[in-house]
């Protein structure tokens, strides 16, 4: 009887030991995954901080210089042909800065920012701006590079409307 009890206790201890080893292995995998997530978040935070620093530098440095150059050009008729070039450079700088803003896959935020940046320009161009964009699903992997591509396509489309379409309205759908 004693030998049977010891044998059963040993078997139970082995079963418990295997269960404990299994639980420890699962927790170890969970810790490794959490550590990888933490490293990824830290990398993203560092990239985001650097991106923010760069956009601030571009806005304050290059943006300020372009605005100053525009003011100089507007004050002297001799330099008037340079105005569209500088305005284009300023618009491009704004696109780059806007594309660096975190959107978390939200195309609607990107489109709304584009609309607010360009609505006055469209109206000053004598066009009606019809906005037919509503709820959009979130997009995976929609980072700054893809945002910039979308903004450039929209900007080019708007420029083509102004230059070539002889339109009375712009519809974004």
Query: Which string of DSSP letters, residue by residue, matches 24-77?
Result: HHHHHHHHHHHHHHHHHHHHHHHHHHHHHHHHHHIIIIIIHHHHHHHHHHHH-G
| Cα separation, 152 vs 141, whole angstroms | 18
pLDDT tens-place string over residues 100-158: 776 778 888 888 888 888 888 888 888 998 888 887 888 888 888 888 888 889 988 99
Residue 34: the pLDDT is 95
Average pLDDT, the chain: 87
Residues 173, 129: contact at Cβ < 8 Å? no
Per cent of the chain over pLDDT 90 is: 24
3-state helix, strand and coil shares in percent for the chain, rounded to the nearest 5: 80, 5, 15
pTM for the structure as a whole: 0.59
pLDDT tens-place string over residues 41-97: 898 888 778 877 887 787 788 888 888 888 888 888 888 888 888 888 888 888 787
Determine the 3-state secondary structure of 129 from DSSP.
strand
Taking residues 162-173, report their average pLDDT: 89
Residue 17: the pLDDT is 95
Which has more confidence, 35 or 121? Answer: 35
């Amino acid at each position: 009887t004693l030998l049977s009890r010891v044998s059963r206790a040993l078997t139970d201890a082995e079963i418990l030991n295997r269960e404990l080893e299994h639980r420890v292995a699962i927790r170890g995998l969970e810790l490794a995954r959490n550590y990888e997530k933490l490293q990824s978040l830290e990398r993203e935070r560092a990239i985001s901080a650097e991106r923010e620093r760069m956009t601030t530098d571009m806005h304050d440095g290059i943006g300020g210089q372009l605005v100053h150059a525009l003011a100089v050009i507007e004050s002297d008729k001799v330099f008037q042909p340079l105005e569209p070039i500088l305005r284009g450079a300023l618009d491009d700088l704004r696109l780059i800065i806007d594309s660096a803003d975190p959107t978390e896959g939200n195309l609607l935020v990107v489109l709304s920012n584009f609309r607010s940046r360009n609505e006055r320009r469209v109206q000053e161009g004598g066009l009606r701006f019809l906005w037919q964009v509503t709820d959009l699903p979130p997009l995976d992997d929609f980072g700054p590079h893809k945002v910039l591509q979308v903004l450039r396509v929209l900007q080019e489309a708007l420029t083509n409307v102004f230059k070539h379409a002889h339109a009375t309205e712009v519809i974004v759908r």
